[in-house]
Amino acid sequence: MGRAPCCSKVGLHRGPWTAREDSLLISYIQNHGEGNWRSLPKKAGLLRCGKSCRLRWMNYLRPDIKRGNIGPQEEDLIIRLHCLLGNRWSLIAGRLPGRTDNEIKNYWNSHLSKKLKKQGFAIREETPRPKRTATPNYHNKKKNNNNNSKLSETMQSDGAVENAKIYAPKPTRFKPTWSVMEKSESVTEEYEKGSSDASSGTNYDVDLASWSHDDHGGEFDQTAVGFHDATHLDFAADFFMQDESLQRLYDEYSQLLQLEVGANQLAEPLMQ
């Protein structure tokens, strides 16, 4: 229901974008703004599906996208946020001004996960999306949900988490904090300040290499499980309190989670 038809089924272009397509899309959005992706291609004179246009704009053409290599401070922040949030790339991207979720996801998959494995950290092969709280429609809906079927396989094949309840925050559409929290005293602001001045020691300048296994008595492996509930956030806190800014970053997320979950819904820890 409601799914946009695949491009191939309606004879639309697929694959890499040409310079001409890019310029058509850019000029259309400059004149009319984002949104209405469904009707945009037709109006812009593009033989693409709206979904493809949106993706191209969001991940490549937007003027505020930061090009170039991901720096060590960004890398450090990605790693920490991934420990905290799992594969919630859009949330992570929201903390990295100018970076897209796709870029971070790619960087993680092709670069960081391997790097961390080499360093001896246990990386989740697959982040099971947290089981969603039982909204009235949820269980009655699907049948063959990919993500959830994967999740249940994972759960059942792994005795350690078989009966675990996972904190399941209500999914919300995400807007990058640097655009919606401009006036706040958020960590993002500090990060932006820091990252805009590469020569200064930033608030996130923490030596990852110092996080050896031994430093944490082997407990670090638990980060591979993920921190989907408040109990785990407490545990996570031990690792992320390396400086004040990270504390605030952690607090921010912790607060968000607490707001959503309510005390009686807090899941039991995955590891006990």
Residues that bind DNA (CB under 7 A): 1-4, 6-8, 13-17, 35-39, 50-52, 54-56, 59-60, 87-91, 101-103, 105-107, 109-111, 114, 126-127, 129, 132, 135, 137-138, 141-142, 144-148, 150, 170-174
Minimum separation from the CB atom of position 217 to DNA (A): 29
Minimum separation from the CB atom of position 56 to DNA (A): 5
Smallest CA-to-CA distance from 226 within 105, 128, 103, 90 is with 128
Give 157 or 272: the residue with its C-beta nearer to DNA. Answer: 157
Q: Three-state SS string across 208-254, please?
A: HHHCCCHHHCCHHHHHHCCCCCHHHHHHHHHHHCCCHHHHHHHHHHH
In sequence order, the 6+-apart residues with CB closer than 8 A to the CB of 78 are: 70, 92, 96, 104, 107, 108, 112
Give 90 or 254: the residue with its C-beta nearer to DNA. Answer: 90
Alpha carbon distance 264, 261 (integer Å): 8
What is each CA distance from 233 to 83, 116, 120, 197, 230, in whole angstroms?
A: 10, 21, 22, 31, 5
Minimum separation from the CB atom of position 216 to DNA (A): 25
Smallest CA-to-CA distance from 221 within 146, 160, 156, 130 is with 160
Give 1 or 209: the residue with its C-beta nearer to DNA. Answer: 1
Give 51 or 216: the residue with its C-beta nearer to DNA. Answer: 51
Minimum separation from the CB atom of position 226 to DNA (A): 11
Give 145 or 258: the residue with its C-beta nearer to DNA. Answer: 145
Alpha carbon distance 116, 107 (integer Å): 12
Minimum separation from the CB atom of position 45 to DNA (A): 17
Minimum separation from the CB atom of position 31 to DNA (A): 16
Give 47 or 208: the residue with its C-beta nearer to DNA. Answer: 47
What is the rounded radius of gyration, in angstroms, for the C-alpha atoms of the chain? 21
